[in-house]
Amino acid sequence: MKHQCFPLYGVSSFHSLKKNKIDMEVYLKNLKKRQNKWENICIRCGACCGAYEDPCKYLKKEASGKYSCEIYDQRLGLRKTVGGEKFRCVPIKEVMHNWWPGSHLCAYKNGIKRKLF
């Protein structure tokens, strides 16, 4: 997900400072809620991380059969596959219009096809 800098408010008094702080807290809370909602769409099939080809070395299969990323919070950037190939880990929004092995499983791609978002 691409982030934008928050616009800065003009602060003229303690009350507006306090109000801006509350506004920012509400804003960040809503942002987090929307982010969680978006991330919960993922069915963790692992396909976008190479589960059906040469996988990323940080991709782990769990006992449940679902996949997870060992470094999820720091995942974006230059990474390597188990086979040693370099690639860039990017937010799913940047690649969900592409094809990759197993991409027919992707909940985001399927959501777009069904016009859910």
Q: In Å, what is the CA distance from 24 to each residue of 21, 41, 59, 109?
A: 5, 26, 35, 32
Residue with tokens 């616009």: 7
Residue 95 binds ligand SF4 (CB under 6 A): no
* C-beta atoms surrounding 44 within 10 Å: 16
- Report in angstroms how near the CB of residue 73 gets to ligand SF4 at its nearest: 10
Q: Among 22, 71, 112, 116, indicate the residue that binds ligand SF4 (CB under 6 A).
A: 71
Contact region with ligand SF4 (CB under 6 A), list: 3-11, 18-26, 27-35, 99-107: 99-107
Give the Cα-Cα-Cα angle 47, 75, 112 (nearest 5 degrees): 45
Binding site for ligand SF4 (CB under 6 A): 42-49, 56, 58-59, 69, 71, 75, 79, 89, 92, 105-108
